[in-house]
A and B are shown apart, each in its own frame.
Chain A
Amino acid sequence: MRLIVPLQSVVQGRGGLIFGSLIPCALFYFLQLYLKRHRSPKPQSNPPSPTTSSPKLAEMTRTSSRSNLFSRSIGQVRISSRAISIAKPNESPYYIGLDKASEDPYDRLSNPDGVIQLGLSENRLCFDLIEKWMSENLGHSITGRDNGELNINGIATYQPFDGTMELKLAMAGFMSHIMGGAVTFEPSQMVLTAGATPAIETLCFCLADQGNAFLVPTPYYPGFDRDVKFRTGVELIPVHCRSTDNFALSITALDQAFNQTRKHGTKIRGILLSNPANPVGNLLSREMLYAILDFAREKNIHVISDEIFAGSMYGNEEFVSMAEVLDSEGFDKNRVHIVYGLSKDLSLPGFRVGVIYSFNENVLAAARKLTRFSSVSAPTQRLLVSMLSDARFIEEYIKTNKRRLQNMHALFVAGLKGLNIRCADSSAGLYCWADMSKLISSYSEKGELELWDKLLNVGKINVTPGSACHCIEPGWFRCCFTALAEEDIPVVLERIRKAVENTTDLLNSS
């Protein structure tokens, strides 16, 4: 306090401005010096541990997460602006819910009050088949034998960054098989990546510059926000789809979004599609694929078709890949790029196996060089070549998987129907797209998030709210059912019922 008065008088005096700035600067400098000298010394031999609050989890309340970030001396050295935005506590319910469920996971026997995870599209239905195959085939199949002697040379040394030809051949065969044999994939047009996540990012780096944008139909997979935007500086422009036509994509909507964006001075470089769609689970018809390709040609933009759920079909509709359409018609193939991966159809997300499939030689050339940052691990390549080449196993797996998927889907959707919760029509995916709009207090994002919170914290089930997927209509939720056993379904339904017990217009009407 005693400092302020003299300062004021100084500022008001003749030398005001100079002293008014010099003195505070000097004071600030001495304050810094004082603080530096008196900073408490850190303990000797052990490196400081990171702050114990799980960095992966952001608390719902903003204030506590902010204080965690600044509570210990982070140091004054600067990180990039890119990094700063990524370092911010993640407030998306998609991630918050995933964390909450993984911290207190439901187990029928050992943790029956835990959170049931319906927010992660993971397929656990056919692990018994894969485990059996592992037991019977693994042995030393990853290291290989050379005259009976173990030989690690084949997998230890540098491999082609974009994947071995053996694995590309095996993947090409597998992809063709799961898409019903309607299309053949050329191994030479494949680039393998450590999961579909880097496949999407790599394509974005190749097709668009910083500041450009991709059109993406909504609702979409929350991960796209990270995959496309984190490091590339490319934007995503939503093209809204509505429940009135079962969230089908319309060329009119695409066109409107394209024109709007162009008016604002942003260049659209392509369309990012998921087919089968995530989170809705519907398919793009052959006619729609033609229409999209026509649109892309007219605007001279790219099309990325993420077909990662192509092998997770449970409906009767036929899946048509972009590749199939290109094969049959005279479309310009240079603008089409397909993404695939083994995380969903073969339940191996941990193994990190993704595919970029392109018809554009220049994109392939660039993508190949970029795979040095995200290659598939050699032992995994070896293992998968073995597994994917086992035609009998793959045949049985695909058949059984489809059957079990159909079964779970039917049970789950019927169960929700019994609670008067309708699902959008869908044919594929590991989830259903449920309309809980009648259960929310106010028809808004706020109302939706309140229901999400109630389901998570009261009902102890984690589902993904539509707002995390940029859905324009509130009240929709993605519920993944493939990590459940049949016995878990009644538990889930009961919990939903309990959580919304006091909501009006409940589950009484049939």
Chain B
Amino acid sequence: MAIEIEQPRVGLSKVAVSKTHGEDSPYFAGWKAYDENPYHETSNQSGVIQMGLAENQVSFDLLEKYLEEHSEASSWGKGAPGFRENALFQDYHGLKSFRQAMANFMEQIRGGRAKFDPDRIVLTAGATAANELLTFILADPGDALLIPTPYYPGFDRDLRWRTSVNIVPIHCDSSNNFQITPEAMEAAYQSAESMNLKVRGILITNPSNRLGATIQRSALEQILDFAVNKNIHLVSDEIYSGSTFSSSEFISIAEILETRGYKDAERVHIVYSLSKDLGLPGFRVGTIYSYNDQVVTTARRMSSFTLISSQTQHLLACMLSNKEFSENYIKTNRERLSKRYDMIIKGLKKAGIECLKGNAGLFCWMNLSPLLEKPTRESELALWKVILNEVKLNISPGSSCHCSEPGWFRVCFANMSEQTLEIALERIHKFMEQRKRN
């Protein structure tokens, strides 16, 4: 039976028809390939292994154990006292107990080296919403944000789509391990000016999403100085702060501010979430921590569009305020991620592949430039297609995240079992052997 799709005669908005959501890009072919033929340990061993999704599944057992032992977190206890207040609670300030728990958790992750005030925490349904919200607040349509490359492809959509704000990249390259330099920042700023775009802020991800590495103290100081100099905002997306392999290597912008006595703090805003560190992206929990009162007030009001379910706030308040649980979780999660990282680096090295030295995150930044026919995007794309279709691995090519050097790929290792990771490494090894022979 033919279904006639009527052409809609009534018009839609520019936002609705815009392609800024990015889902038409060629890299979505990777997701499609996975959806159509997903690897399964027993039922589909020749399927595509998903290595393009930064999801943390290594510590689920810790969460499950907590929930098993603390039914009051997920059920309000016998007779459900407190249920009705919770069900009615839609105050955009968020549950005080939850904000307190988040503040403590963020402090624990930073080894107590920074303090967080629960009243400066604004809750959002995920970091995606937090980043978009901040963009609405810090920039007007047509303005620009500077973002170091390579960066999370989602930013192109999250920060630009409904806000009409532009992104101007700060180019980083392998010559200095992709670190952000004052020269690169200045060049980006000038580039924006030459396009007549008003720069309103610089957004860094620390630890970096693509590189899997933390930003060094000296670089953070320079970035903050740059923001002060240009009188712009600094957004530090620290969503992977709890996923550093050792507790001492991550330095938060909050620590830099503390050593400076919170001078110039009113231009700094931190984004955090439980999607990566706690492996709970489905819960939709994000936060904005701002040192600027006006931003806190405005963000709170705007958060009406993206509130966290009070049921979830209650559950997480219980869980995260349990010191025993949170300390153990942070420590164990770090150890397991570190172990996975060692495993993948070793495996890749055996196959003759080098990676950027990383110390955080759920992925590593792999250098396949020696394999490229030509040092071009096209060659990189061709190689990516081969890896997807022949090796059956979905990894993220550098060109999808604005990397200026072709040949780099992000490979995720925490969203699968160790066995699956072994299989993936075997496939890579086989692939490299074949190439050597040809």
Q: Which residues of A are interface residues toward B (Cβ below 8 A)?
A: 41-51, 55-56, 69, 72-83, 86-87, 102, 122, 124, 127, 130-131, 134-135, 138-140, 142-143, 149-153, 155-159, 194-195, 197-198, 201, 205-210, 212, 226-227, 230-232, 269, 300-302, 332, 334-335, 343, 347-352, 360-363, 366, 369-370, 372-380, 383
B280–A140 CB distance below 8 A: no
- Contact status A156-B282, CB under 8 Å: yes
| Residue on B nearest A360 in the bound complex, by CB | B8
Residues of A within 8 A of B296 (CB): 50, 55
- Is chain A's interface secondary structure helix, strand, loop, or mixed overall? loop
Give the distance in Å from the alpha carbon of A300 to the alpha carbon of B11 in the complex. 8
The answer to whether B304 touches A226 (Cβ under 8 A) is yes
Complex Cα distance A73/B293, Å?
Answer: 10
Extra 16 A-B pairs, beta carbons < 8 Å, given A143-B67, A366-B16: A42-B263, A51-B293, A74-B293, A124-B84, A131-B84, A134-B75, A143-B74, A149-B64, A157-B279, A158-B53, A194-B125, A206-B15, A226-B304, A332-B10, A351-B309, A373-B162
Interface residues of B in 284-338 (CB under 8 A from A): 284-285, 291-298, 300-302, 304-312, 315
Q: Of A83, A366, A380, A383, which contacts B294 at CB under 8 A?
A: A83
How near does chain A come to B315, taking the closest CB pair, in angstroms?
6
Q: Tell me, in angstroms, the Cα distance from A166 to B298 when the chains sit together.
A: 35
By a CB distance below 8 angstroms, the chain B residues around A362 are 8, 12, 16-17
Contact B16 A349 (CB under 8 A): no
Q: Is the CB of B88 within 8 A of A349?
A: yes
Known: A140-B74, A380-B309. A127 touches B84 (CB 8 A): yes
Residues of A within 8 A of B117 (CB): 46-47, 49-50
Contacts of A195 in B (CB 8 A): 90, 307
Judging by beta carbons under 8 Å apart, are B298 and A79 in contact? yes
**A41 close to B261 (CB less than 8 A):** yes
Closest 10 CB pairs of A and B: A75-B266, A350-B310, A378-B282, A377-B309, A366-B16, A138-B75, A55-B297, A206-B16, A350-B89, A77-B267
Q: Mark B266-282, 1 if CB is under 8 A from A, else 0.
A: 11000000000001111
Residues of B within 8 A of A151 (CB): 64
Question: What residues on A are CB-neighbors of B436 within 8 Å?
Answer: none
Q: A156-B282, A300-B10 are in contact. Are A366 and B125 (CB under 8 A)?
A: no
Q: Could you tell me if A209 and B132 are in contact, using CB atoms closer than 8 angstroms? A: no
Instruction: Establish whether residues B138 and A363, one from each chain, have CB atoms under 8 Å apart when the complex forms.
Output: no
Check B55 for interface membership: any CB of A closer than 8 A. yes
A-B contact list, 9 entries, CB within 8 Å:
A49-B119, A49-B120, A83-B138, A140-B74, A158-B55, A198-B306, A231-B136, A350-B89, A375-B284
* Contact present for B137 and A77 (CB under 8 Å): no
What's the minimum C-beta distance from B161 to chain A, rounded to whole angstroms? 8
Q: How far is the CB of B209 from chain A (nearest CB, A)?
A: 15
Structural contact, A83 and B262, CB atoms closer than 8 A? no
Interface residues of B (CB under 8 A from A): 5-6, 8-17, 21, 23, 53, 55, 57, 60, 63-64, 67-68, 71, 74-76, 78-80, 83-84, 86-93, 115-117, 119-120, 125-126, 128-129, 132, 136-141, 143, 158, 162, 200, 231-233, 254, 257-258, 261-267, 279-285, 291-298, 300-302, 304-312, 315
Residues on the B chain within 8 Å of A122, using CB: 88
- Shortest beta-carbon distance from A107 to chain B in Å: 12
Contact B140 A81 (CB under 8 A): yes
Q: How far is the CA of A129 from the CA of B429 in the complex (A)?
A: 60
| A369 vs B291: C-alpha distance when bound (angstroms) | 31
The residue in chain B whose Cβ has the minimal distance to the Cβ of A232 is B162
A194 touches B16 (CB 8 A): no
Bound CA span A87–B137, Å: 10
Complexed CA–CA distance, A79 and B12 (Å): 30
CA distance A490 to B384 in the complex (A): 74
Partner of B87, one of A80, A302, A348: A348
CB nearest to B76 among chain A residues: A134
Q: How far is the CB of A481 from chain B (nearest CB, A)?
A: 16
Residues of chain A lying within 8 A (CB to CB) of residue B312: 377, 379-380
Closest chain B residue to A207, Cβ basis: B13
Contact A373 B115 (CB under 8 A): no
Option from A73, A80, A131, A138 in Cβ contact (under 8 Å) with B140: A80
Cβ 8 A contact of A156, one of B139, B141, B283, B308: B283
Q: For B307, what are the chain A residues with a Cβ–Cβ distance below 8 Å?
A: 194-195, 352
Taking each of A51, A79, A195, which has the highest tally of chain B beta carbons within 10 Å of its own beta carbon? A79
A55 near B16 with CB under 8 A, answer no
